Amino acid sequence: METAIKYFYMLLKTLKGRHYLLLFLVPVLFLFLWIKAFISPVSLTPGQDQMPLYELLQQLTGGSIIALNIVGAAILILLSLLAVRLNERYVFIRQRTDLPAFVFALIATGTVSLYGMHPALLASFLLFFAIDCVFAVYHGSRTLAKSFEAGMFIGLATVTYLFSGIYLLWFWVALAFLGYFRPREILAGFVGFLLPVFVVLSWYFLNDNLTGLLQTISSLYNFEFSAEYSMFQKVYWGILAAFVLIASAFMANVVEEKKISSRKYFMILFVFFLTAIGNYFIFSSAGTELYFLLLIPTTFIVSHYFVLSRYSWVKEILFILFVVASILVHFLG
């Protein structure tokens, strides 16, 4: 046991730094933990019509589940690297670290019913860029352009995964946290949101298929989600929720030590997290796929704790629990 703790301590210490090993380790970890998506691929949207942007992706991949899953794996790997880049750009975790990529990989693959591509995964990728744009607004330069871009990415996410539209409200809340809740930024974001929606509606109207689109939206909205999960999968979600609570409590305890910008960024990420949770309770047809929307905020909340917590032995034990549970869920979940 002592030897295992020693190795995990070395792993945590290594991942907290900056290493080119990341470029090799994270993709390999993803492919190892997500291998079932390629060995025995299963559609996560069987027999369901989907929003236009995802339908376009299905057409481009020829409807091949394996091809879609390859795209999904590429998105997850890219998101893990972009998570590191986002912290490097805004430094809200007060250290340049590769740990978010590793944490993201473990969390992203931690729900065994989501081995594969889903519209919510593509929407999560688009919403990541909305987060980036919102953070950029705080710098005060090109606030209108960045507000427009944030709204546009939310609009693109909405025509990919219907329940992403609620993130327009998150955007307005984020503007309030940043001190830019002004008519011009609000309007710029709203116009950006409407642009992809308008283009899609116009395309379907010109092709005399607007009724078909409205029927798809209605069927997605009225779909009754139901699923059963193993006990260990539920235990893993419970462990992950406990980590979020512990990390959030730690963050609240050290918030006064942070720069004002870091506080605002973390509050925006936390509201992003709550928006996904709210989606689950507001819309009965929104289900496990919302897990994909939780990935970015959960990754940063958990990574912040592992990087900055001063209680070394507690942190090491929790890190062991996190890694072991994230791997075991693939065998027991």
User: What percentage of the chain reaches a pLDDT higher than 90?
Assistant: 62
pLDDT tens, 193-252? 999 999 999 999 999 999 999 999 999 988 877 778 889 999 999 999 999 999 988 888
- Supply the DSSP symbol for 17: S
- pLDDT, residue 175, reads 95
The yes-or-no verdict on residue 52 having pLDDT over 90 is yes
pLDDT mean over 128-144? 91
Rounded to the nearest 10 degrees, the angle between the axes of helix 291-308 and helix 260-282 is 150
For residue 18, give the 3-state DSSP assignment: coil
CB 171 within 8 A of CB 189: yes
For residue 223, give the 3-state DSSP assignment: coil
pLDDT mean over 177-197? 95
Q: Which amino acid would we find at residue 327?
A: I
The yes-or-no verdict on residue 274 having pLDDT over 80 is yes
The yes-or-no verdict on residue 132 having pLDDT over 60 is yes
CB 24 within 8 A of CB 97: no
pLDDT mean over 287-294? 93
pLDDT tens, 191-206? 999 999 999 999 999 9
CB 97 within 8 A of CB 83: no
Tell me how many degrees the CA angle 130-136-141 measures, rounded to the nearest 5.
130
116 conformational bin, left if phi > 0, alpha if psi -120 to 50, beta if neither: left
CB 9 within 8 A of CB 313: no
CB 300 within 8 A of CB 92: yes
Structural domain harbouring 33: 2-332
Per the structure block, which two tokens stand in for 31? 């492919």
Q: Which amino acid would we find at residue 285?
A: S
| Cβ neighbours around 243 below 10 Å, total | 22
The yes-or-no verdict on residue 9 having pLDDT over 80 is no
Burial label for 14, CB within 10 Å (0-12, 13-18, 19+), is middle
The yes-or-no verdict on residue 174 having pLDDT over 80 is yes
- pLDDT, residue 210, reads 93
The yes-or-no verdict on residue 8 having pLDDT over 80 is no
- pLDDT, residue 277, reads 93
Q: How confident is the model at residue 161 (pLDDT cuts 50, 70, 90)?
A: very high
Interatomic CA distance for residues 1 and 191, integer angstroms: 57
- pLDDT, residue 155, reads 98
pLDDT mean over 281-295? 90
Q: Which residues of 55-85 are buried (b: 16+ CB within 10 A; e: fewer)?
A: bebbeebeeebebbbbbbbebbbebbbbbbe
70 conformational bin, left if phi > 0, alpha if psi -120 to 50, beta if neither: alpha
**63-72, 87-96, 175-184, 310-319: the lowest-pLDDT one:** 310-319
**294-303, 305-314, 319-328: the lowest-pLDDT one:** 305-314
Q: How many domains does the chain have?
A: 1
Interatomic CA distance for residues 126 and 121, integer angstroms: 9
**What is the rounded average pLDDT for all residues in the chain?**
89
